[in-house]
Amino acid sequence: MSAERLNLLWGITMASGATAQLLARLTSLQAVVLLLVSGLVVGRAGFHWVEPLDLGSRGLETVVGLLVSLVLFEGGLKLRLPGGELRTAVLRIVAVRLLVAFGGAFLAAHWLAGLNWSLAAVFSAIVLATGPTVVNPLVQQMRLQEPLGEVLEGEGLVLEPIGAVLAVMLLELVLGDRTGWQGVAAGLLLRLGFGVAMGLLSGLLLSELLRRLPADSGVLGLRVQLTLGILFLMNGGCDAQLSESGFPAAVAAGVVVGRRPSSEPQQLDEFIRQLAQLAITVLFPLLAADVSWRELSPLGLGGVGCVLVLMVVVRPLAISVASTGLPLQWKQKLMLSWMAPRGIVTAAVASLFAIRLEAAGFSGAGRLQGLVFLTILMTVGLQGLTAPWLARRLGLVRPELEAEAGSAEGAADAPAVLPGRVQ
């Protein structure tokens, strides 16, 4: 492929993503939906201006892996898991969704969307986690009471690397590279353990290096360079040893750096946030450009029905089971049940898996990718448009902001929140 075409590919991708972000700012539409639509327009489903595979399968995988690690690191950097009963709520939701959501998606993908059992299992792992890159801006936009936002953020960041690694193990099982469920479980635990350990060590190293730098704006550039250098080296080193172990490593490293005051993480927050936003602006259109109508249209009503089952049956069931015995009001449970948009890790894993399956001559890779992107579009679109209205109706907008808006009734009726919020 010529250098001119590669330059054009990146230029169109960046321009389409930036245009989508501009439209999202000028309208009430969710940025993720517009980013995906922009990718469909410039990619295979539209004008065919962008062909991600022009980068080569290895090149695309490398770019996606590095950018996703940056997004996950940024999420870990600002993650503050709540304490007390809120921490229990997060862990319960994670544990229950590993079982209920996986099983529900597995059955729905096969019976409704028509995926074979093998691909249905891979799909269920890919869509297991909600996307913090979507949830966090939505929570801020709707001014959701903070404990609920913390639960949603914690759930997504913990489940995203678990779901991604589990999906890799199931993919290897489908392709014959791994034998039996015991091999899947062993591979999952090994990659998560190795990734978290390397992330903790890398985070400690990075925070120690940052601690030795003076706390002034003149060295901000050096702080960013050190952060990206260690992050990308860690991601590459982890994946070289165990594939996809870089995802949990990125989250763990971000958590360590963000929680060590001596590393001055506040100096990094804004810059890393902007870089992560740039990564999202590039990744969503690039990945969506690989999806064609030929992969989406055969899904038909069965695909739509599959996603709706995930939204209105599986998610509420998981939240109901997980919240049993916790002092959550029904309004809070309802809000948690409705908020489950998928994000960038889901899209990235689906695209990379489709490439691997097609290279192996496995039929149905396109349907898998199409169903994943349909899940992202529907969950982000429907929940993004309706969640602010639902929060206001339930009185779950922060009371002081309700008062400022003249919604005194909503402020007065707002339910009490769980204790344990980290200030």
Assign domain 57-413 to its CATH architecture.
Up-down Bundle (1.20)
% of residues, the chain, pLDDT over 70: 89
Q: Are 141 and 389 in contact (CB under 8 A)?
A: no
**Cα 8 from Cα 47, distance rounded (Å):** 14
Give 397's strand partners: 144
Q: What is the pLDDT of residues 118-135, one digit of tens each?
A: 999 999 999 998 888 788
Alpha carbon 189 to its chain's center: 20
Q: What is the pLDDT of residues 28-87, one digit of tens each?
A: 788 888 999 999 999 998 999 999 988 888 889 899 999 999 999 988 887 766 666 677
The pLDDT score that the predictor gives to residue 420 is 40
The pLDDT score that the predictor gives to residue 423 is 31
Number of H helices, E strands in the chain: 19, 0
Type of residue at 415: P
Query: Which DSSP letter does residue 342 get?
Result: -
The pLDDT score that the predictor gives to residue 10 is 94
**How far is CA 60 from each of CA 40, 64, 192, rounded to the nearest angstrom?**
17, 6, 24
In terms of pLDDT, which residue wins out, 360 or 51?
A: 51
Confidence band (pLDDT; 50, 70, 90) for 361? confident
The pLDDT score that the predictor gives to residue 270 is 81
Q: 324: how many CB neighbours lie within 10 A of its CB?
A: 11
- Least confident residue range of 195-199, 215-219, 362-366: 215-219
| In the predicted structure, residue 89 carries a pLDDT above the cut 70 | yes
Rounded to an integer, the average pLDDT of 287-297 is 85
**How far is CA 282 from each of CA 60, 163, 174, 227, rounded to the nearest angstrom?**
12, 23, 30, 20
The pLDDT score that the predictor gives to residue 47 is 93
Of 226, 199, 210, 201, the closest CA to residue 261 belongs to 210
**Cα 112 from Cα 22, distance rounded (Å):** 36
Q: Look at the block and give the residue holding tokens 């290897």.
A: 172
The pLDDT score that the predictor gives to residue 421 is 37
Q: What is the pLDDT of residues 376-387, one digit of tens each?
A: 999 998 988 899
For the chain, what are the domain ranges?
A: 57-413
Q: State the pTM of this model.
A: 0.86
The pLDDT score that the predictor gives to residue 338 is 94
Q: Are 394 and 339 in contact (CB under 8 A)?
A: no
The pLDDT score that the predictor gives to residue 228 is 95
| In the predicted structure, residue 389 carries a pLDDT above the cut 60 | yes
In terms of pLDDT, which residue wins out, 417 or 174?
A: 174
Confidence band (pLDDT; 50, 70, 90) for 263? low
